[in-house]
Amino acid sequence: MNQGLTGQTWMITGISSGIGYELAKQLLAGGCRVIGLLRDEKKARSLLEAYPEALTLYEVDMCNFSEVDRVVNTALEAAGTISVVVSNAGVSLRGFAEEVKLEELQEVVNTNLTGAMVFIRAAIPFLKKCKGTLVQISSVNGDVPAAQWSYYSASKHGINGYCEAVAKELEPYGVKVIIVEPGRVNTELWNKVANRCREYDGLRRQSVKSDIDVRKLAGKIISICSWDRPPQYIAMGSRASKKIIDHLEGKRNIHMAWRQLSKEVDTDFKMIQPVMKKPETAGERDILMWPLGRECKELLKKYNWSEWEEKLIGFVDSAPEKKGKYCLGRKIYRIDEIQMHISACYVIITSTDYYNEIRKTLKNMGLTSDMDFCHWKKLVED
């Protein structure tokens, strides 16, 4: 068991069985406080009897979104602090797309996707305040869709995308987001089967083989949450890992094969041909303001600037998380580190946001004079 759990507070959805139950069991044994959300409190009675002081249970239906929001806020305000929030509640449904009933589809999407999003949304203010960790229990099907699991796969793809976006939003607040993608776990999750269209009988898989030990899985999740820099995605199980890697490599190969066709729908940039000031001495350095990336490369080709392209050594990134930093050759440098890296004639600047700051800084460094700037502001405005 991981050391240092004493005093931590975890909130877990779906603790009545499976991964949620095993997580709660191991955490409670390790000295943690656990806030458990589940549909029926009776299903966790054995845990409550064993740890009456450390376990708090709240009954909630994950498909009742206003109730989820209310319960999460009530529970976390009462707890006062939170270390880890685990979005684990989920349902499965095996069946070909056309034979699944509408109400079954709604249950899968409402529980696995919408309910999980509402749960995470409600927990975000508390996670930011406590610099906590968010864990989403997803699935190998979150990356690798499978026949007969269309709606389950869709719900897991959706929650992966949501959590990945939320991770970008919460990174500045010190909140870590971990998306766990296990293979088939030895739990009762996989029991629900739609079996209505006889034409598919020959294609059906009659059983789902488990290849993940739920006890080991819970222990690894607890351990990973203690890391200073945990992975944003982690596949659990050798089969799950191989499936995801093979699937992503296959998608990459398809996109690479059709990359040229993809470029054919790009917007045509109607820009006047700029006039460059040629440096009068080898020591002069012109600063070229220009959008970085595909636009820049296409324009360089258009105006036969191939030898200039070699001199265009870097750019300033105006993305909020990189504000005030310089990027040369894909490496980020701070403003006080840039001097040693500027040795060519031109620097690409992606945005006008920092034009005056950059100009003043470089001038103070003695790297350029006012006359060395070609200021094409209109060409780089967003």
Residues, the chain: 382
Q: How far apart (Å, rounded) are the C-alpha atoms in residues 222 and 276? A: 59
Say which residues have a Cβ less than 8 Å from residue 45's Cβ, sequence separation at least 6: none
- As given in the structure block, the two tokens for residue 118 are 């509402």
Residues designated catalytic: 152
CB 355 within 8 A of CB 270: no
Q: How far apart (Å, rounded) are the C-alpha atoms in residues 133 and 127? A: 7
